[in-house]
A and B are shown apart, each in its own frame.
Chain A
């Protein structure tokens, strides 16, 4: 079957099977930032936005992208580099495999929550697993990123 949708701001079409998973489709279309860490929607690595809302692309059928706006880290390059810089300045990116999915949710959180406190940040990002960092550096980075305008 054929579907049409927006991928990172550009109209695209794709030939898919009924059981094609969105994660596999966007990777095939060149969005290699999207990673698979599990098959059970537990790890958050495959997070993309569907109409600006984070979804786990491992658990979304590609057919559901029809007519929607799909955004991956490739479509948010400037923002990703800026938020990512805060992460790297803490040494928190480590192996980097979970970074894209993590940053997709950080950027979504920034749009959705107004000045979240520590507990709210942890809750919003609870679905993003990281095995390297132990999370402390990520929290430091997110707090600094969200406060960056105050930092100057």
Chain B
């Protein structure tokens, strides 16, 4: 490998001209004419049994191809969670169930020739429900008299402490040292509870998929998904058909952020096509995407932290109560990150992390960028900020005394060692950028407004250690260009381009010489998928391995053609030549010659997995301006410094960071989730679910403090998820420094602050 030309360069994404040119490259654009329109009739009740469902009249409506109810689908339970098999998520789903478990749960599938025909038929389906008491309060769900999943064929494949007879999706504890006695001896302590709601990923392209039978009678599924190989397995389970009968293709995706790591919509067109033989497509409305999808797990987290007189943190105790909703997708795993990716930010003598994940009759949760770490970091970083405030120590200085450093072993992070960590540099750089010393803690602006600053740290992982698999296949074509076949899912993040950058540098060729082929489960090598911040780190290593073996094969083939020993040869990306001699052959000639009279394919196929999951680290700092009368918050400035190891593509890494912070700002200040007493979610459109606009995010400034991760490709770690984790605690603390009101339940609204600042205006009632 020669000089790096592409790794570290702000390369434009390979698919950019198509995307900015509005080319038809997304699922709906590609669907064939005449696809059946598939829609789902949804439950109006949070908990009910379907006593009778009469579709006779609806089935006779013009243009209706089929209507399916719980009586028409296989009875084997499965999970929609896109995870490696055996999934930690319980098998608690049917495509359609007689028991409906949240407002919006699927009752019937209707397929017809047009939207209008399907809508009309849906109105003619007569359902008689037996309403049941729902479990709506997640704090009361464990051991509740009402069970969300009383059924006998509910199944948990992994030892995660699940028990459907107790409404438990998972339960567990991890600890080191005697937390209680150490906390008892601490000079200063904070014990508080923090609440994060079930925020929606709200990617611009809602859930969608279409299916058809191919020449061989196999079910072909084109889906907007992050996990094509898991879709294949899950559809096989759901339809109870062999996996060999299914092919999954991923086109361009209009955003995922974890939402599409759950197979939310694919089963509906799949069963229609499988039963009717006709192509079928489902497009979720935004309404459906808001009420019946895979949002963040609502978590309530109790944190106890304590330090000595000097501000040395001694112990952290975290208890997380997570609400998985009606089904258990990602329930047992997201909760783990709430402790395992918050507690290790600090050196402490002892820690305890305990958790329960409960079923309720609310929308099922799923994977959302940050995956539990976001919730845990909001809680732990807020508690640390409150502790620093309590002892009148600058929270930056407090962290500098206590933060994890390179070389540390992290007991709360599975005992892994931080081999690459510039968190301390992130902190000083961020403080410099925002002008922390001048601005901390607050400045009265003299116009009824006050500005405050706040800080938070974050970490995440890079792939799931010992589980995730990244694979690529690479081949040489005539004229010597390469095809790089990947099984990961570019969802706009640019991984197709990033992997090509790495491959081009490994092969010493131009980026244009690498053709990337996105995922088709019939063709692509198996990759567990693009989630858990895995692709750059894991699939990147697979690229490096594949390039290494391809280079060896090129030398071997050249030695054969040149009639010499391969040890005499070197490859510079264009030609193979003798180091001390005259013989040479170009890659172009090799590529062309192997098309004739050849017995060995010039191709490499490599997988990679990692026993460790090196954390990226970052620091975020916020400056807010609060109206002292109304409590209105304006975000003035947000700075972030990220250690993601080597930055492979600075433009794409920067936009990942800015975008993650934007979503973090949304959940912190704007995006609320509330339910009616009957369990209906109220923020069911973009009218009520307030995504931040470009006028709501202030100024976000990003810098990098690269470390070098020895186990990653070119020293890289992940970046995709960590970037959402700092805004909530940093903004909450900035607001607190401005107003002395610490909001512990997101979002931080003007109303909560107003109540906190002026309790006398409201009589009784706690602000937060």
A residues near B (Cβ < 8 Å) are 32-35, 37-40, 42-43, 45, 72-74, 77, 80-81, 83-85, 87-100, 103, 122-123, 125-139
Contact = CB atoms under 8 A, between A and B. Distances in A.
A103 B19 CA distance: 11
Interface in B683-727: 685-687, 691, 693-695, 697, 699-700, 702
Nearest to B659: A134
Contacts of B202: 131
A42 B654 CA distance: 27
Contact of B20 (A40, A93, A125, A135): A93
Contacts of A98: 204
Q: Which residue among A42, A94, A100, A122 has the maximum number of chain B CB atoms within 10 Å of its CB?
A: A94
A99 B17 CA distance: 11
B680 interface: no
Nearest to B497: A91
A126 B695 contact: yes
A99 B655 contact: no
A29 to B, nearest CB: 13
Given A84-B17, A134-B659, A137-B658, A91 B652 contact: yes
Nearest to B257: A131
Q: Which residue among B10, B204, B651, B693 has the maximum number of chain A CB atoms within 10 Å of its CB?
A: B204
A89 B16 CA distance: 9
Contact of B253 (A45, A95, A131): A95
Contact of B204 (A40, A87, A90, A95): A95
B654 A37 contact: no
A121 to B, nearest CB: 9
Given A95-B252, A98-B204, A132-B492, A32 B22 contact: yes
Contact of B21 (A80, A89, A137, A139): A80
Contacts of B10: 89, 91
A128 B693 CA distance: 8
Interface of B: 10, 12-13, 15-26, 29, 201-206, 252-255, 257, 285-287, 491-494, 649, 651-652, 654-655, 658-663, 685-687, 691, 693-695, 697, 699-700, 702
B658 to A, nearest CB: 4
Given A80-B22, A136-B655, A137-B655, 9 more contacts: A37-B205, A72-B22, A96-B18, A96-B492, A99-B19, A103-B22, A131-B659, A132-B655, A132-B659
A42 B658 contact: no
B686 A138 contact: no
B20 A131 contact: no
B658 A35 contact: no
Given A38-B686, A91-B13, A77 B257 contact: no
A100 to B, nearest CB: 4
Q: Which residue among A133, A134, A136 has the maximum number of chain B CB atoms within 10 Å of its CB?
A: A134
B700 A37 contact: no
Contacts of B253: 95
B203 A131 contact: yes
B651 A43 contact: no
A129 B658 contact: no
B254 A122 contact: no
Given A91-B654, A95-B252, A129-B691, A39 B286 contact: yes
10 contacts: A80-B20, A91-B654, A91-B655, A94-B655, A95-B491, A126-B694, A126-B695, A129-B204, A130-B694, A132-B492
Q: Which residue among A72, A100, A131 has the maximum number of chain B CB atoms within 10 Å of its CB?
A: A131
Nearest to A86: B20
A39 B691 CA distance: 15
A96 B20 contact: yes
A88 B686 contact: no
Contacts of A39: 285-287, 685
A44 B492 CA distance: 19
Contact of A95 (B12, B254, B691): B254
Contact of B685 (A34, A42, A77, A127): A42
Contact of B700 (A34, A80, A94, A136): A136
Contacts of A131: 201-204, 255, 257, 659, 662-663, 691
Contact of B655 (A73, A123, A134): A134
Contacts of B695: 122-123, 126
B659 A43 contact: no
Contacts of B17: 81, 84, 88
A91 B651 contact: yes
B29 A32 contact: yes
A102 to B, nearest CB: 9
Contact of A139 (B26, B660, B661, B694): B694
List the 5 closest pairs (A to B, CB-CB), nearest first: A33-B22, A84-B20, A95-B492, A96-B19, A134-B662
A85 B20 contact: yes
A89 B659 contact: no
Contact of A35 (B205, B492, B702): B205
Contacts of B205: 35, 37, 95, 97
